[in-house]
Amino acid sequence: MKSSEAWVLVGVLSSPLGAGTVSSLVEEIARALGEKPLPVDYAGLIKSVSELGRLEGCKAGVALVATGGTEELIIGFAEKCGFTTLFYRDGFNSLPAVLEATPVLRERGRRVYLKRYTSPSDIVSEVEKISRVYEAVSRLKSCRLGLIGGPSSWLVYSRVPGDLVKERIGSEIVLIPMEELVQEIDRAVVGEGDLDAVRGARGVEVEAGEVLKALKVYRALQAISEKYNLCGLTLRCFDLITLGRTTGCLALSLLNTRLYPAACEGDVPLLISMALGEFVSGEPAFMGNPVIVQGDELVLAHCTAPLISPFLLLTHFESGQGVGVSVDYPVGREATLFRVDPKLERLRVGLGVVEKWGWRRDMCRTQVKLRIRGAGRIVEESIGNHYALILGDWVEELSLASELLGFKVERLDET
């Protein structure tokens, strides 16, 4: 079984002595992989080093170590691939073989991940995850990202030159004057579908005319995205308060809700973070400021957030103008917090749980409290003032994507 666009090589490794006992296992995995259209090359059973010669190189390898006595097979298989996930099973001396071979591979600079095998669905899930990550990274590398008006003046650290983005990632930063956005706002026409997007608000504390102006920003950003063939953007949004008498908060909310990465304040590193997260997960990202960090508790706040749950339309916090968005993030849900640093050298990531929070008017409108181990590191070892948040556990996928991009992965909960 081989896809014409195979990214992942899958094999079952067994010693010659144990080969006769794993034939049903090989067939079960073949059936499971065959049920879905996956970019996979299934090599089936491999029981000798000489058989490795028939295998082509691969971007990623997934091997089930079915028996012991497979140390040389493990090493030979892993050295054909960019990185390898080794599944071990209970019994059959599978784990001892993995433990013996893994340090050799790591000493040689190979990336190896170990997981316990329970069923063929484990293999399928791993291939799906790897495929999704490769697609996300490929998409990001080919992206044109819009920077409208440049970074906000207070972003003294969270800046990155376009040529460095091109060199480190491959994405192109497209510079767009703020005046062009203002012109697009002036000629924008708000449709009924745009109004439908905000009619579900559980409360509105701004005039209808303000909502209409905010929706014109949304239509204008869509027009600019189409004009420049962008797959994400960030804008110097505070300039809209003086130039357009409105804010970009609602527009950015709606863009991210439909999985179009859109960041505030001309923050390119955070836009890259959001794009990577949204492409990997298929879930919308929230861009927030850490406003409270105490022990393992963190509160993020910003006036824009994807409309993933009940929300209010309020004014923008700092200015009291335009439309800000207050989204009620679901208490009890896991959420992944992450950020790429401005030097494009590392990804900081952690997994937390959304906790109940008493909303306050002295903060930006969407406020999310997380319990997350290592939160203090955000203050003690700052890499900027914005972080991205996506519901669900995406730590493994983001870590893998970052490694493929050449970033060092830094877990918040690891010293």
pLDDT by 10s per residue, the chain, length 415 = 554 456 799 999 999 988 788 999 999 999 999 998 888 999 999 999 999 988 887 889 999 999 999 999 999 999 999 899 999 999 999 999 999 999 999 999 999 999 999 999 999 999 999 999 999 999 999 999 999 999 999 999 999 999 999 999 999 999 999 999 999 999 999 888 888 888 889 999 999 899 999 999 999 999 999 999 999 999 998 898 888 789 999 999 999 999 999 999 999 999 999 999 999 999 999 999 999 999 999 999 999 999 999 999 999 888 878 899 999 999 999 999 999 999 999 999 999 999 999 999 999 999 999 999 999 999 999 999 999 999 999 999 999 999 899 999 999 988 6
Q: Are 85 and 32 in contact (CB under 8 A)?
A: no
Domain containing 64 — which CATH number? 3.40.50.10940
Do 86 and 174 reside in the same domain of the chain?
no
Q: Cα separation of 50 and 197, whole Å? A: 60
Answer whether residue 204 is part of any domain. Answer: yes
- Do 270 and 406 lie in a common domain? yes
Domain boundary among 84, 119, 139: 139
CB atoms within 10 A of CB 66: 28
Q: Please tell me whether residues 266 and 124 are part of one structural domain.
A: no
Shared domain check, 116 and 151: no
Residue 42 lies in a domain: yes
Q: Are both 91 and 207 inside the same structural domain? A: no
Is residue 224, in this structure, part of any structural domain at all? yes
CA 6 to chain centre: 23
State pTM to two decimals.
Answer: 0.92
- Shared-domain flag, residues 300 and 262: yes
Could you tell me how many residues make up the chain?
415
Q: What is the DSSP letter of 2?
A: B
User: In this structure, how many other beta carbons lie within 10 angstroms of the beta carbon of residue 227?
Assistant: 13
For residues 96 and 82, give the distance between their C-alpha atoms in angstroms, rounded to a whole number: 23
Same domain, 14 and 80: yes
Rounded Cα gap, residues 111 and 288, in angstroms: 32
Is there a domain that residue 103 lies in? yes
Residue at a domain's end among 107, 139, 171: 139
Based on the domain organization, do 80 and 198 belong to the same domain?
no
Q: 134 and 63 in one domain?
A: yes
Same domain, 198 and 265: yes
- Please identify, among 109, 139, 169, the residue that sits at the C-terminal boundary of a domain: 139
Number of domains in the chain: 2
Classify residue 1: in a domain, yes or no. Answer: no
Work out whether strand 408-411 and strand 346-355 pair parallel, antiparallel, or are unpaired: parallel
For residues 331 and 300, membership in a common domain is answered with yes
Indicate whether 3 belongs to any domain: no
User: How far is C-alpha 125 from the geometric centre of its chain's CA atoms?
Assistant: 18
403 in Cβ contact with 347 (< 8 Å) = no
Indicate whether 118 and 186 sit together in one domain: no
Domain holding 77, by residue range, is 8-139
The answer to whether residue 158 sits within a structural domain is yes
Residues 6+ apart with CB under 8 A from 123: 10, 29, 32, 33, 62, 64, 87, 117
What does the longest C-alpha to C-alpha distance in the chain come to?
77
